[in-house]
C-alpha cells in the first residue's frame, strides 16, 4: 500500500486528501502545525469566479471549469457523508459595469489609447465564447438591473453581467467537511505537527525522498505533497529547493442589516471594482477584500483606511449598507508565488516523489477541486 503524506490542511490540502481518499490502495496522512482552515482559507470569501472570469483557454480556464463542475456534485456528496450543511449560494455572481469602463471604451474607439481590452466588447466576446463552451452569461442593461436588484443604486453603474452558474460558499465550512469526509474514508490527520526537514538521502543519485523529520518523529512515505501555502517556502528550503512565495494581506468585514438587500428570493454574490458583497443569511453580508502587499520584508500590518475604503465602495453600490452594523472584521495572508504564475502544481525540482500544490494566491477555494484531481493524476499514473 502506497503512503501519501500531505503537508498543509487549508482548503487545498483538505481537497487533495479527500480526492486521494477515494483511490483504493492508498494510505494518506495529513500534517499541519495548526488546526484546519486557520490561514488564508479562513480569510477567504469563497466567491467562485469561474464562468465570469476572463480566462477562456488553456489550464487557467480548464481548471476553473473543472472546479465549478465538481462543486455541483462535491457539496451534496460531503453533506451526505458528514450530515452537516455547507453554505453554498447557487444564485450566481453579478458583476457590475461601471460608467468609467464605458468611457474608457469610447476613448479607445476614438483612437486616443491603444488597447485590446474594450470593456463593453470584452463582455460580449466572453458571452459568445461561454455559449460555445456550454455556459451561460447574461448582459443586463441598467433598467433590467434596477428591476431585478433594486438595492443597487448608483448612477455610475450602467448595467451588469450575470453568471447564473458561478457559485459562492463558506470556505471554512467546506474545509472542515472535506476533513471529516476524508477521515470517514480512512485518512489520518495530525495537527500541531511541524516539519523539521527531510531525512538525507543515502545517495545523491536517487531522486526520492524516503522520509521527513517532524516534531512527532520520522515519517516515511512513498509520496509527499507540500500544500502549506505560505508555509511551503520554509518547508521547501529544508529540501534545499526553496520555492519563493510571498504574502499578500486581505481584509474583510461582516455587516448586519437585519434584512436582505433587494429581493429576498434573489441574493447573488455582487462584485464591482474588485469589491465583493456576499450574502451569508439573516440579513448579514461579507464585504471585501483588500489587496495589501508587503513593503519591508514580509510584514504587512492591516491598513484600516483600505478596509474602510472597501466598505465605502460597497455602500456606493448598495447605499442601504450604510445602515448596517459591523459585526466583525478579519484578515488573512494569501500565498502569491514570486516571479511565476499561480498556482504551483508540479514536482519539487530534484525529487520525483515530492509534489507542490501551493501558491494559489486568491484562487485557493476556487481551484481546490481541480488541484485535487491534478495531484491524484500525478500520483496514480
Fold exhibited by the domain 2-88+170-244+338-380: FAD/NAD(P)-binding domain (3.50.50)
For residue 111, the model assigns a pLDDT of 45
- Fold adopted by 89-167+247-334: D-Amino Acid Oxidase; Chain A, domain 2 (3.30.9)
Report pTM.
Answer: 0.94
| Burial class, 285, CB count within 10 angstroms (exposed 0-12 / middle 13-18 / buried 19+) | buried
- Domain 2-88+170-244+338-380 and domain 89-167+247-334, same fold? Reply is no
Strands of the chain (E only): list them: 2-7, 26-32, 47-48, 88-89, 93-98, 138-141, 157-163, 167-169, 188-191, 195-198, 211-214, 217-220, 223-226, 245-256, 269-272, 275-281, 284-288, 325-337, 344-347, 354-358
Which one, of 378, 323, 321, 316, lies nearest residue 353 by Cα?
378
299-326 tens-digit pLDDT: 888 999 999 999 999 999 999 999 999 9
Question: For the chain, what are the domain ranges?
Answer: 2-88+170-244+338-380, 89-167+247-334
For 51-78, the pLDDT digits (tens) are 999 999 999 999 999 999 999 999 999 9
Residue 345 near residue 357, CB atoms below 8 Å: yes
Residue the block writes with cell 482548503:
11
Query: Does residue 86 contact residue 78 with C-beta atoms inside 8 Å?
Result: yes
Say how far apart CA 14 and CA 37 lie, in whole Å. 9
Question: What is the reported pLDDT for 196?
Answer: 96
Q: How confident is the model at residue 102 (pLDDT cuts 50, 70, 90)?
A: very low
Other beta carbons within 10 Å of 38 = 17
Q: Which residues pair with 256 in a beta bridge?
A: 284, 325
Taking residue 327's Cβ as centre, other Cβ atoms within 10 Å add up to: 12
What pLDDT, on a 0 to 100 scale, did the predictor assign at position 47? 98
Work out the number of other CB atoms within 10 angstroms of the CB of residue 313. Answer: 15
More confident residue, 327 or 107: 327
Amino acid at each position: 500500500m502506497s503512503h501519501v503524506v500531505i503537508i498543509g490542511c487549508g482548503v487545498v490540502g483538505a481537497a487533495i486528501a479527500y480526492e486521494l481518499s477515494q483511490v483504493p490502495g492508498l494510505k494518506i496522512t495529513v500534517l499541519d502545525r495548526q488546526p484546519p482552515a486557520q490561514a488564508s482559507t479562513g480569510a477567504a470569501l469563497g466567491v467562485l469566479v469561474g464562468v465570469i472570469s476572463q480566462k477562456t483557454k488553456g489550464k487557467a480556464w480548464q481548471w476553473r471549469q473543472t472546479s465549478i463542475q465538481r462543486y455541483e456534485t462535491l457539496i451534496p456528496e460531503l453533506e451526505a457523508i458528514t450530515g452537516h450543511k455547507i453554505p453554498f449560494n447557487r444564485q450566481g455572481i453579478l458583476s457590475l459595469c461601471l460608467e468609467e469602463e464605458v468611457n474608457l471604451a469610447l476613448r479607445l474607439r476614438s483612437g486616443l489609447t491603444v488597447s485590446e481590452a474594450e470593456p463593453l466588447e470584452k463582455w460580449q466576446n466572453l458571452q459568445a465564447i461561454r455559449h460555445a463552451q456550454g455556459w451561460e452569461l447574461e448582459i443586463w442593461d441598467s433598467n433590467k438591473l434596477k428591476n431585478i436588484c433594486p438595492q443597487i443604486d448608483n448612477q455610475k453603474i450602467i448595467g451588469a453581467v450575470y453568471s447564473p452558474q458561478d457559485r459562492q460558499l463558506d470556505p471554512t465550512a467546506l474545509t472542515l467537511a472535506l476533513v471529516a469526509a476524508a477521515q470517514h474514508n480512512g485518512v489520518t490527520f495530525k495537527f500541531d505537527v511541524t516539519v523539521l526537514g527531510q531525512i538525507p538521502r543515502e545517495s545523491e543519485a536517487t531522486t526520492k525522498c524516503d522520509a521527513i523529520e517532524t516534531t512527532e518523529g520520522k515519517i516515511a512515505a512513498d509520496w509527499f505533497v507540500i500544500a502549506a501555502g505560505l508555509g511551503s517556502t520554509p518547508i521547501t528550503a529544508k529540501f534545499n529547493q526553496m520555492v519563493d512565495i510571498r504574502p499578500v494581506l486581505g481584509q474583510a468585514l461582516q455587516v448586519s442589516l437585519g434584512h436582505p438587500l433587494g429581493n429576498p428570493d434573489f441574493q447573488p454574490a455582487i462584485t464591482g471594482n474588485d469589491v465583493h458583497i456576499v450574502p451569508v443569511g439573516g440579513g448579514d453580508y461579507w464585504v471585501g477584500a483588500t489587496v495589501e502587499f508587503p513593503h519591508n520584508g514580509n510584514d504587512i500590518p492591516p491598513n484600516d483606511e483600505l478596509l474602510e475604503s472597501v466598505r465605502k465602495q460597497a455602500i456606493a453600490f448598495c447605499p442601504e449598507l450604510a445602515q448596517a452594523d459591523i459585526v466583525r472584521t478579519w484578515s488573512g495572508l494569501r500565498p502569491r508565488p514570486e516571479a511565476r504564475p499561480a498556482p504551483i502544481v508540479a514536482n519539487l525540482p530534484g525529487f520525483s516523489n515530492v509534489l507542490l500544490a501551493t501558491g494559489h494566491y486568491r484562487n485557493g477555494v476556487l481551484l481546490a477541486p481541480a488541484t485535487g484531481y491534478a495531484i491524484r493524476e500525478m500520483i496514480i499514473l
